[in-house]
Amino acid sequence: MNFGPFIFLGSFVALLISWAGLILVPQLQLKDLQPETDNTTGLSKPAQPAGMALQGASVYRANGCNYCHSQQVRQTSFYYDVVLEAAGDFPDVFTRTLMEVNPKWEDFEAEMFADSSYEGEVLFKNIDQFRKNYIEKSFENAGIGDLGVKIKYVFRPSGPDISRGWGQRGSVATDYLYDQPVMIGQQRVGPDLTTIGARVPDETRQLLHLYNPRSVTDGSTMPAYRYLFKKQAIGDEPSPTALPLADVFAPEEGFEIVPKEEALQLVAYLKSLNVQSALFTAPMATPAE
């Protein structure tokens, strides 16, 4: 019996299922994705890059920056801090309620938090959603809200990238709405760049880092992109865009290093990478105050 057609058909079906799962289904899920509007400012989120930043995205891609840098903040979990905003006027009732919520506390610990001088302090730190629901229900059943007690639940995203200061929340599909193509990156030889525009807003420092990374960061393994700059003789006065290089990094006397248009475009793109706003699908930490 000739099994060739069956092998071909099986291979074709396997490829079709893979294509549907990896390409078709995500496209169907994301095709109607729309930006969100900030109710406070009225601005669209995420912001759409324009001008030099849009041109800089092509320079970023052409120079293979996404081979060593990612643009994806990983959020592995989240937790809450329970903050006491007002202790109320009935400390005995509040003390009993706190003891019920956390039986491990000694009397003096619960009594301490029932004192108004501890308003603004954290009652419970790093609790999960299940524990938060339990505390909310316990406080509701005790009716402490009617006694003037006010509690705030502070949302805290967490994860390795957030702890490194690379972002305040995890990345979601909406963040890449205007990216064509999406440059999430393949590995992290260098740090994640999702919020580099906020972390390093200084344009001069960005340009110095591109020209010679070691002039900014000792021991950096990043290659120097000197072909994005040009050396020229100083005219009657130095160029306003000349890099402030010193010591071994400075050119010979009478010359200066100035960025080409591609370098300015690339820095404009890096400065536009500034994901600092919350989305419905990706909330950020709420202030404790």
Q: Which residues pair with 282 in a beta bridge?
A: 279
- How much is the pLDDT for 289? 44
User: 254 with 268, same domain?
Assistant: yes
Structure-block tokens of residue 277: 């706003």
Q: Are residues 86 and 107 in the same domain?
A: yes
More confident call, 288 vs 159: 159
Question: Considering the chain, what percentage of its residues have pLDDT values greater than 90?
Answer: 41
Please indicate, yes or no, whether residues 181 and 140 belong to a single structural domain of this protein.
no
**How many structural domains are present in the chain?**
2
Task: Kindly state whether residues 182 and 248 are assigned to the same domain.
Answer: yes
Same domain (yes/no): 55, 102: no
Residues 53 and 112 in one domain: no
Six token digits for residue 101: 């919520």
Domain CATH code at residue 182: 1.10.760.10
Question: Model confidence over 126-169: pLDDT tens digits?
Answer: 999 999 999 999 888 888 888 888 889 999 999 999 999 999 99
Q: What's the domain range around 44? A: 38-75+173-281
pTM of the full predicted structure?
0.79
Q: Name the burial class of residue 206, with classes exposed (0-12), middle (13-18) and buried (19+) by CB atoms within 10 angstroms of its CB.
A: buried
The answer to whether 84 and 90 have CB atoms below 8 angstroms apart is no
| Closest to 229 in 3D by CA, of 179, 255, 264, 190 | 264
**35: nearest Cα among 55, 25, 23, 49:** 49
Tens-place pLDDT, residues 217-272 = 888 899 999 999 999 999 888 899 999 988 888 899 999 999 999 999 999 999 99
Tokens of 35: 């930006």
Kindly state the tokens that stand for 131: 């524990």
